[in-house]
Amino acid sequence: MQGHSKFKAVRKIAALCAGLLFAAGAAQAASYPDKPIKLIVGFAPGGASDTLARLVAQQASTRLGQQIIVENQAGAGGSLAARTLARAEANGYTVMLGSPGSMIINPILQPKLAYDPRKFTPISPLARISYALMVRQNLEADSVAQLVELSKSTPHGLTVGSAGIGSNTHLVAMSFVVGTGAQLRHIPYKGTAPAMADLMAGNIDVLFDSVPVVLPQVQSGKIRILAVTGASRETLFPDVPTIADSGWPSFTANNWFGIFAPPDTPAPVVHKLNEAFTATLQDESVRANLESSGNRPAPGTPQDLAKLVETERRDYENTIKQTHISLQ
């Protein structure tokens, strides 16, 4: 009987603790946020990701009643920002703009990184971005099919630039190789700017990059686009086909951005943040602003973002394995 009484007492204490924790969490959620929120961006100010983050942060701030302050922590392809997020308190006051580089590619190629992105708390998907398949002006190919055939008939294949080994522009080029059978010889650069300069100078044959990044060159007529990699055509240049339109119906590739929080962020906080970002992306003026720069608004639930990351992880792992990409 004495043992039974002790057991009942322990159960009561456990229930009381759980109740107190729930009440504390509910109280935190009710008052959250009561101070500014920091949004970490793993890239330098002025770039496409920074512009997206600042637009969304400004609009979401009005819905949360607190300012969201963008803090740029450029370095290591977004991994520096991810390390900061991993060390932050799980209270909703530090979040990060995540992308395939920091959330998937870097951890696959560098398994000893000081963070595990699978432990981060997904908050909200923000946008998807197609890549543009660009070629030098005098390349004798006017379609994706002609490009693939030309690459196969060219000794050692055509050259394709990227922002560096293991970059997202490298991975999409290799996905294209796997998906179409094109023969492309990889030329890594230290960033996309020198790769773009060499494409425009005719020193490389092919380059992939995100539509928002290449939009100025497209609009000035300095580059030639054969196709885009998304599931549908871009409203900014509707005459440019997708790679799926061009004879490879199962091929799609997208860059994307989403908001992530530290591991174990409380569910009520996640819900409140997701509501603010979702409402922001449903605002017509925000959507028009994003679409005019080549971003496709993609509001959704935390579960949608988690599913996207896992699906993309499998795809990137397969591409890396099939094309033998390594940083060694």
* Token output for 139: 């390349």
CA distance 20 to 221: 63
Distance of alpha carbon 270 from alpha carbon 263, whole angstroms: 11
Q: Which domains does the chain have, with CATH numbers?
A: 35-129+254-323 (3.40.190.150), 130-246 (3.40.190.10)
Q: Which residues of the chain have pLDDT under 50?
A: none
Q: Give the Å distances, CA to CA, from 176 to 4, 187, 250, 268, 302.
A: 67, 15, 11, 41, 29
pLDDT at position 7 is 53
pLDDT number for residue 22: 53
pLDDT of res. 14 = 54
Q: Which two tokens stand for residue 277?
A: 């970002």
**Tell me, what's the pLDDT at 110?**
93
For residue 213 the two structure tokens come to: 């990044």
Q: Which pTM was predicted? A: 0.89
d(CA 41, CA 252): 26
Q: Are the C-beta atoms of 181 and 148 separated by less than 8 Å? A: yes
Bridge-based pairing of strands 121-135 and 296-297 is antiparallel
Strand partners, 79: none
pLDDT of residue 40: 98
102 near 132, Cβ under 8 Å? no
Paired tokens of 231: 């599931």
- The pLDDT of residue 76 is 85
